[in-house]
Amino acid sequence: MTTYYDDRSVRVTATALRVDDRTYPLAELTMVWHRRGSRSWRVLAGRGAIGAALAGPLVAALLGVALAVWLHRSLTVTIAVVGASVLVGLAVGPLADVLFEHLDRSYVRGSRELEMWATWRGRPVRLLGTGDALRFGQIYRAVQRAMEHAPAATQNVIGSSGSRPSPRSRP
């Protein structure tokens, strides 16, 4: 039996889709579609906090240089303030890599709740809901592949809005 996707809570095989403790035979799924929920303000606020963490030391360094010039103190004091400001600005370097990694991961995961729905035994059923866009895409594509390779006798349909998808030409 071919396994198209497998993780701790979802398994897509050539014959069935298992989500947590529920198993749905592919032959009983007549239509599969997905929906996007509203944006998560928590994720967007987190992205803003990462941006502020990246910009904060740089702004502090620029303000320190401006302060040193504005104070009109001795050359030694001006150089000390500018030097300290530059060190604060340089502190962003090692931290920026970590922060950009977190920012990149937040975009991979997405900022919306994604749901996979299907018509199962004549009624719509929510198969899966997750905020992880990468994982959702992998699972949805696995279900597509499994249903494409299902026997021709079943009338399975998979599409973004529940309508029959049009074939794509592949390079």
Average pLDDT, the chain: 81
- Confidence band, pLDDT 50/70/90 cuts, at residue 167: very low
Dihedral sign for Cα 151, 155, 161, 163, please.
positive
Q: How far apart are CA 171 and CA 165, in angstroms?
A: 18
Helices (H), 30-166: 41-71, 75-90, 92-109, 133-148
Residue (of 56, 30, 47, 61) closest to 124 by Cα position:
30
**pTM for the model:** 0.61
Q: How far apart are CA 50 and CA 132, in angstroms?
A: 19
Percent of the chain with pLDDT over 90: 28
Neighbours of 139 (CB within 10 A): 26
pLDDT in tens, 127-164: 998 888 889 999 999 999 998 887 654 555 566 544 44
Sheet order of strands, 3-6 included:
3-6, 10-13, 16-19, 22-25
What mean pLDDT comes out for the span 12-40?
89
Name the token pair of 131. Answer: 């905020």
